[in-house]
Structure 1
Amino acid sequence: MKKSKILIVDDHDGFRESLVESQILTEKYKVLEAYNGENALDVINANPDLSCIVLDYDFRDSYGAKRLSGLDVMEHLAKSSPHIPIIMISGITEERGRVAIESIKKHAIAFLDKPFPVKTLVEKLDSILLTNTSDTTELDAQKNLSDVGFATVSSIMAKVCKKALEASEHDMNLMILGETGTGKTSLAKAIHKLSKRGNKNFANYECGTLSSDIDKFSSQIFGHVKGAYTGAYTDKTGILEIAIGGTVFFDDITNIPLEVQKGLLKVIEEKEFTRMGDEKKKYFFQARVIAATNCNLEEAIKDNILSKDLKFRLCGDIIKIPPLRMRTDDIPIIVQSYLKNQNIKELKVREISEEVYPLLMRQPWLGNVRQLLTVVQRASNKEKKNEISFNSITESLWTEYDIDEDSLTYEKFSDLDGDLDTTITNIRKKFIIKALKQSKGNVSLAAKELGYINHRGLQYWIEKLGIKSNDID
């Protein structure tokens, strides 16, 4: 089997050679090297079949001669070889956030801090090149989804975006899985916008906010006529009627009572429904159904909170969104997209200092994107300057983690190479212990509260952090 060809560009001879001569790298890939930007362009021109470039951010000037920077090389490649994915690497520690953002803006597919283990680079190359060799349109899919509001640049999300783009091209019902706050609603909206139904209604229905009253559930979904039940004083249009011709999205589908799920199943199968209290007038149902849950589907069926038959009808296609902690490369673009969204009126300051990104990218984010944006919004509204500062983000994190300023100092947060990892571990442990206490030691309930898709993810952290039963007594 022919090996994919990669190029390592770095002006530090020792570091470059350690990669080029690494056995675990050369076993999988044919490795070329270049010692500066100019040399890199020569090698690239001579090797049009390159699969990936690992590019240093900055090169030292030679005897007063100004060298091309890594960003300069990227600008050249954007015109001459835009199809070649680039991994930007850098040993700059003081302004890591700025460097990472600049790299992402220039369309680097990933960013690595030097020095890094060769194994880390191999894993990153594997994820990128497996993505690109299976289908070269995955990066295009990622861009298409970013253009309609689902911002992502991380390699782990490339396959998710490809599946989402494919889902927008057919009309099968769809189930989106993921922990609480991962962006399931945003992905559903993006799929709708890219679909043939994009100019019709997107009826977003958050099942978790509904009443437990069966009549009110049914009324919200199917609609009712005046007098259909006690309290039905006027006619009401249901979500299914609003969605006709477009897409109806049921978030937290397992919160709908089973009796109402059976009615929804009947609508999906028979393509018609009636309002409560009026069995004569039938409405033709022609809408796509997208549902989402943070539950494990098989466990939800066993727990009797999801109809097995409805699950089969909804899972024409399934997309799983990984948690934010597995795609921290997305954090800068998610924050930027959020701050630039003029439809969000709650923001006071819409600029952000790039020095905050290393801090944000090191947090556990048990609440995923939703928690991240809450922290940013809080900092924006309390900021007294023209851009969200490191101090404002730090204070917002104190509030988020319910930590007294006296017990967590500014220095602990700002020491990115020292105490922060310990701080994050302690924060994660505190959250888990608190959830376990509230659930009286029930791991499944605690996992649901923390947003894990099943109890196994939480069990991993309980064991890793050494949490014992006496910690929650």
Structure 2
Amino acid sequence: MSAKKIMIIDNEQGLCRMMAAVLMDEGHAVRTFTDPLEAMDLFRPGCWDLVISDIKMPGIDGLEVLQRVKARDSGVPVVMITAFATVEMSIQALRKGAYDMLTKPFEPDELLFRVRNALNHNQLKTENRQLKETLAGKFNFDNIIGASTILQQLLEKVQKVAVRDTSVMITGESGTGKELIAQAIHYNSPRKEKPFIAINCGAIPDSVLESELFGHKKGAFTGADADKIGLLKAADGGTLFLDEIGNLPLSVQKTLLRFLQEQEFRRIGDTVPTRVDVRLISATNSDLEQEVQRGSFREDFFYRLNVINLHLPPLRQRKADIPLLAAHFIADQNKKFKTEISGLTPEAQAAACEYAWPGNIRQLKNVIEACLTIETEQRISLATLAQFIETDSAVTPPDNDYNQALARFEIDYLRQLLSAADGNIEAAAQKANMNMATIYRKMKKYGLRKEDMIN
């Protein structure tokens, strides 16, 4: 464990010196105080990793120290020391936010054990918070790639839907990014601190799907050797994303319909209902209204799921986004494999924009990855791209001259970028991972005006 900053507060100087010596031998930076008021005057949020405080002290007692520390920095663990431990006192300290209680007299090894536990616990909390912040940032609407009008209109709708706790059905062809939209909804909703759990209904056999969703009691069926909580219970407080919802058996549809109506269900073999608070987001690439007509999908269940419908357009209807997505995937691969491919040649880019991409964004990502695996030049060539998709040999860039083709692309790209950002240069720069000065320079070069980009 790396060195941590520890504050010790105890009116016994000898005990302070002993604890400081033990903890400094472990490599920690320790400061001791015999006056709790002086310690609190010097306590600043973010400056300490752990506080160890006696309870019985003149001036203010340890419980007051605990309250002041937690009021200023709730994330700092506090270990309380007392020679007069009682159950009532321990409960009071723990209720006020103490991490642990240490009873005098104690051995150095016990001090180290309690301190390590407190610091490890705090490290896990920090890592968990950072992970959540990373996820929230990853699924921020600004990080969904594309400047086409059709995508921007969809994202405006998604942003409104995210904050309203209602069922959402996402439709669209395979590979259009339905799970990405579901994650964006979750991480921009009031449920973002709770779990997001995804299940592909078409990838799990019908025989075990009910147990996976609802759980089971021990002995409910052959092989049920222990109680199992289902995914609905695991997602309590958060979001359950059901991908390929059209593959659900009618029996499971009936149970989920009851859950949507009552917010409760019964595990297999259980006689007592389980109540949970879960938002359902579903997705499908099939026509569920036709499935309803055929009788393979319940009509009442369909309408319960389809309160809000979000339809993701196929990539062939978002041609303006293809260069942006390709650049994003190239950057990802460069970072992953330490390569320096700068992009597509004008010929390759023109071919990519003309291709229908039946596998949509997922196919584009895979093709870019495959091209980077075999490309030996600075940019992905048309010859390389043609090994993975059908290209029209007649496809040529708008101008045979590379500089003219590049200029035309940059002008179109800047127009789309600035239009999507309503002329906001800073927002456009963040979206494109560019320096603001670069955007100003290119606007001047091509005679573009910010006023012309405002919708």
TM-score by length of 2: 0.52
| Of 217, 221, 224, the match for 1:225 | 217
Q: Report the CA distance between 1:340 and its aligned residue.
A: 4.2
Q: In the alignment, what sits opposite 2:362?
A: 370
Deviations 1:258-297 (A, max 9, x none): 11111111111111223222333x4322111111112223
Structure 1 residue 292 corresponds to structure 2 residue 283: yes
Matches within 5 A, 1:383-422: 383-384=375-376, 388-397=380-389, 411=393
Which stretches in structure 1 are left out of the alignment for 5+ residues? 1-142, 399-408, 418-473
CA contact (8 A) 2:246 2:288 kept: no
Structure 1 residue 199 corresponds to structure 2 residue 193: yes
Q: In the alignment, what sits opposite 1:110?
A: none
CA distance in 2, matches of 1:320, 1:247: 19
Letter of the 1:286 counterpart: D
Question: Identity percentage over the alignment?
Answer: 34
Q: In the alignment, what sits opposite 2:147?
A: 153
| Of 335, 338, 356, the match for 2:326 | 335
SS at match of 1:208: coil
Deviations 1:93-123 (A, max 9, x none): xxxxxxxxxxxxxxxxxxxxxxxxxxxxxxx
Structure 1 residue 170 corresponds to structure 2 residue 176: no
Q: Report the CA distance between 1:192 and its aligned residue.
A: 1.2
Q: In the alignment, what sits opposite 1:236?
A: 228
SS at match of 2:220: coil
CA distance in 2, matches of 1:343, 1:202: 29
Higher mean C-alpha deviation, range 357-366 or range 254-263: 357-366
CA contact (8 A) 2:350 2:397 kept: no
Q: Report the CA distance between 1:158 and its aligned residue.
A: 2.2
CA contact (8 A) 1:221 1:239 kept: yes
Deviations 1:344-375 (A, max 9, x none): 96997775335332221110112221222221
| Of 318, 323, 327, the match for 2:314 | 323
Deviations 1:356-407 (A, max 9, x none): 3222111011222122222112223333456544433222226xxxxxxxxx
CA distance in 2, matches of 1:412, 1:344: 34
CA distance in 1, matches of 2:343, 2:177: 22
Q: In the alignment, what sits opposite 1:267?
A: 259
For the aligned residue pairs, the C-alpha RMSD in angstroms reads 3.2
Letter of the 2:362 counterpart: R
CA distance in 2, matches of 1:412, 1:148: 36
CA contact (8 A) 1:153 1:329 kept: yes
Matches within 5 A, 1:47-446: 147=141, 149-213=143-207, 216-280=208-272, 282-341=273-332, 351-355=342-346, 356-384=348-376, 388-397=380-389, 411=393
SS at match of 1:395: coil
Check 1:260–1:414 CA distance in 2 against 1; reply closer, same or farther (3 A cut): same
Check 1:338–1:205 CA distance in 2 against 1; reply closer, same or farther (3 A cut): farther
Check 1:275–1:151 CA distance in 2 against 1; reply closer, same or farther (3 A cut): same
Q: Give 1 or 2 for the bigger CA radius of gyration.
A: 2
CA distance in 1, matches of 2:334, 2:231: 23
CA contact (8 A) 2:140 2:188 kept: no
CA distance in 2, matches of 1:294, 1:376: 24
Letter of the 2:303 counterpart: F
